[in-house]
A and B are shown apart, each in its own frame.
Chain A
Amino acid sequence: MKRRSVLIFLTAVLSTAAVLGGCGDSGKNSVKLSESEQAAWDAAANDPYGKYPELVTYTCGYNLTNQGADTLAGTPYESDTAENNAYTRYLRELLNVQNENEFEAITGPDYDQKVSLCIAAQSIPDIMYVSDYATLVDLVDNDLIEDLTDVYNNLACDTVKASYESYGSDNNPINTVTFDGKIMAIPKTQLSDGQDFLWVRKDWMDNLGLEEPKTLDDLAELLRAFVSQDPDGNGKDDTVGLAVHPEVYGYYPNNTFAIDNIFTAFGAYPFVWITDENGKAVYGSVQPEMKDALALVHAWYEEGILDREFTSRTYDDVVAMISSGQCGAYIGPWWSPFNVAQTSTYAAKDAEWINISCPVGESGKINGINTKPYAGFVVVRKGYEHPEIAMKIVNVNSEYSKQDKSDATKEIIENQSIAYFNWPLYCEVQPGNNAEIMTGHVQDVLDGNADVSSLTTEEQSYYDAAVRFSEAEAAGQKAESADYSQYMSRVVSMKRMIDEPADFLTPSFFETTETMKVKWASLEKIEMQTILKIIVGEADLSSFDTFINDWNNAGGAEITEEVNEAIQK
């Protein structure tokens, strides 16, 4: 009796397991292809834009954006999904490939977490994007990804190859993904983000009859006037000088409101690894040049020409302060017009923002810091039978879709302008100065030196925004904020970037080392505390020397060694 119930129980468990497990491998159908069919498949696999004879479905990790579904509501694309949207339909039409998303998540920590989960579970999708170098190394070490050397050599389109080469032979992103002579991933390029500018409210400068500043002293003059002479003309002493990011500096030039430029004007390069005169890599934040810069920032803080409350403000607070019309000067990248601080003041306060190359270093130019040439990597699962699909999609992303002027690409652009973005593979390969090149083309058309048809689809969208902006302004109206942002960044601010180039320093090291994983967070904390204390005057400038010591003892010296070793490799 007892035996029988055990049997029944076992049967039940096993059948449940069979039902649940039923969704596993259903076995490869090993249909023999005829010679002509095989030839068609081979031809498709060896052509950068070859279309497969039959639909190929690949699994992938999909980068979502949080401006997703909700922004599509009420547009023709409202029933689009991450597996069926303008771009995936386009790829299906062009290459006969279809993505099946093994996971979807918002670009950033959420996506990275999904990647780590699937690596831990040892089941990675056929093709996926990984955002950091350490993960790539993990994948290579665990032999989970396919060697893409042949795929790259045979199938990368000219635009892709030329774009990688434009970074120079030392800085070529392909170097980063080459392990023992094998190309293990397709790197996504990181455009040079250019230098930070001083963004100033021109309407305030005009009210006070001020000239464009250039040096640090000019900047101090301008800020002094902004603080004391009531630039907004409301009869109240309510204006703040220079806005400052609560973290002061870092992530050049992407941290809007960070004041790295003031430091680099002194030849100090905080937050990055630089090469000293002996050719050794050293950490910029612990170099003696920092002291002069800190002395000046402290003096400005004392005088009140930079925001006296910056230590207690969050990023959102800074945006709110500028949006409310209290502040008319900050340091930010060329795309700052996209920031709410500008769009809202443009619409509601009649603000007129301009970007100025200030403060300049000894050479009379802004001292900028280069970003790394690669941003992420596309990898292919080891053993996947169509590894070339990854390369072909990157080709389409980087070249084909830009030159194709069919209705399908128009649909993509329109779709993207509503909900950025819908690529199954988050990877585009562009030359480092692509933003400048595109603006050059748009400018040519605006000046009447070239025809609209010469523009790529992406450039065309910038041109259209510029036209809409000018038309609205000419009619005495405020342009749509999206058009304002696009025109001001792509045309106005970018023009300065091209006309007034900066001196760029390329950091000697971008990645993390073993000890960094453990100790970097606390080192950054010591650094930030010291810097803030010195700026607000809680600590003396001489405490910077103590900080250098503390930093070295707390692991900084060890990490510096590791960094130098890593560079030697």
Chain B
Amino acid sequence: MKKMKPGTLVSQIIIWIVIILLTLSCLLPLLNMVAISLSGSEAVAANEVGFLPKDLNVSAYKKLLGDAQFWKSTWISVERVVLGTLINMFFTVTMAYPLSKSRKRFRAREVYMKLVIFAMLFTSGIIPLFMVVSHLHLTNTIWALVLPGAVPVFNVILLINFFKGVPEALDEAARIDGAGPITILLRVYLPVSLPALATVALFAIVGHWNDYFSGLIYMTKASRYPLQTYIQQLTVDLTQVTDANQLKQLAAMNTRTFNAAKIVVSTIPLLLIYPFLQKYFVSGIVIGAVKE
């Protein structure tokens, strides 16, 4: 191995310091949450918990795992992620592929592109959206969570740009071999686009998993809430008591340990998914596919 130049060494050190600081700023809050979830409630109320649990106890987790609604909500979220991501991916791919073709081959392309961009920039307000969903009788069903966002426009544009980067020669070669558009998409474009697909899929998964708002709007029964909505409900601000009737809520307000446990448990699935998708984040597959 060659010795580094002093200049390179300094810049390497700076880069590492920045990366480490960034990593810590993501990691420490999570660690703090884990510590709180494992601590005694008095220590938590007094802000005495840092990155290590104090008065170690697991009662919050015990209580959590015994809560039926938590499991129900988790199941709804899982359902939503699987179904929603499949729908998202189908529409993203089938929409991005034709739109990545030149105007010569797809004459109405510009019209569609403009529609797509318009839809990305302007959205309707909550109320029209709610009315559409409720008049279609989708409220309280899983479809209310996956259909309104079936076409993630941002992801479509991302994928269009990636497909555009795929060498035209690959397409031509396949056509010469007699492949139709669908075969080309499935056998040529998708295999070379795995990194992009993984990215888009990850966006879709994270988006579906983390979204609490649509659950809050479209689900009128608390028993139908997906996990994030359920958790959001537990962290609603109760500091401003407006009537003495809320006394009992206040009495039980010291649930920070319990809430921390919920947050920790709800982050675990995402933490697990990352490493699995990571192996697809290998760029440069198209490099070397064509010789010019």
Contacts and interface: CB of A to CB of B under 8 A. Distances in A.
Nearest to A120: B127
Q: Which of A69, A120, A343 has the most CB of B within 10 A?
A: A69
B250 A335 contact: yes
Interface in B207-241: 216-217, 220-223, 233-241
Interface stretch (A7-15, A60-68, A135-143, A208-216): A60-68
A345 to B, nearest CB: 9
A468 interface: no
B240 A69 contact: no
B108 interface: no
Interface in A100-159: 101-108, 110, 113-114, 116-117, 120-121, 123
Nearest to A74: B66
B69 A69 contact: yes
Nearest to B47: A320
B251 A482 contact: yes
B46 A190 contact: no
B220 A323 contact: no
A106 B46 contact: no
A336 B243 CA distance: 13
A417 B127 contact: no
A315 to B, nearest CB: 5
Interface string A195-210: 0000000000000000
A417 B68 contact: no
Interface in B95-136: 126-127, 130-131, 134, 136
Contact of B245 (A67, A81, A343, A428): A428
A193 interface: yes
Given A320-B46, A344-B42, A70 B243 contact: no
B248 A343 contact: no
A348 interface: yes
B250 A121 contact: no
Nearest to B140: A103
B238 to A, nearest CB: 7
A185 B154 CA distance: 47
B67 A67 contact: no
B244 A193 contact: yes
A101 B222 CA distance: 10
A339 B236 contact: no
A58 B69 CA distance: 25
Given A69-B69, A73-B67, A416 B248 contact: yes
B240 A254 contact: yes
A23 B137 contact: yes
Contact of B68 (A73, A190, A321, A420): A73
B179 to A, nearest CB: 28
A317 interface: yes
Bin the interface of chain B by size.
35 or more
Interface stretch (B7-15, B28-36, B252-260): B252-260
Contacts of B234: 66, 70
A545 interface: no
A64 B234 CA distance: 11
A64 B243 contact: no
A96 interface: no
Contact of A73 (B66, B236, B249): B66
A539 interface: no
Contacts of A506: none
Q: Please indicate which of the listed interface residues B41, B239, B244 has the most CB atoms of chain A within 10 Å of its own CB.
A: B244
Interface string B33-59: 000000001100111100000000000
B69 to A, nearest CB: 4
A110 B248 contact: no
B61 interface: no
Contacts of A348: 42, 46
Contacts of B69: 68-70
A68 B70 CA distance: 12
A442 to B, nearest CB: 15
A6 interface: no
A481 interface: yes
Interface in A292-346: 315-317, 319-321, 323-325, 335, 338-341, 343-344
Given A66-B233, A106-B233, A120-B131, 5 more contacts: A67-B252, A70-B63, A103-B221, A251-B240, A325-B46
Going nearest first, the 6 A-B pairs with the smallest beta carbon separation are A320-B47, A324-B46, A103-B220, A420-B248, A323-B46, A69-B69
Interface of B: 41-42, 45-48, 63-64, 66-70, 126-127, 130-131, 134, 136-137, 216-217, 220-223, 233-255, 258
29 contacts: A20-B137, A21-B137, A64-B222, A66-B249, A67-B248, A67-B249, A70-B63, A70-B70, A71-B252, A73-B68, A81-B223, A82-B221, A108-B237, A110-B236, A113-B216, A120-B131, A254-B241, A254-B243, A255-B240, A323-B46, A325-B46, A338-B247, A340-B254, A344-B45, A347-B42, A421-B245, A421-B248, A428-B245, A485-B251
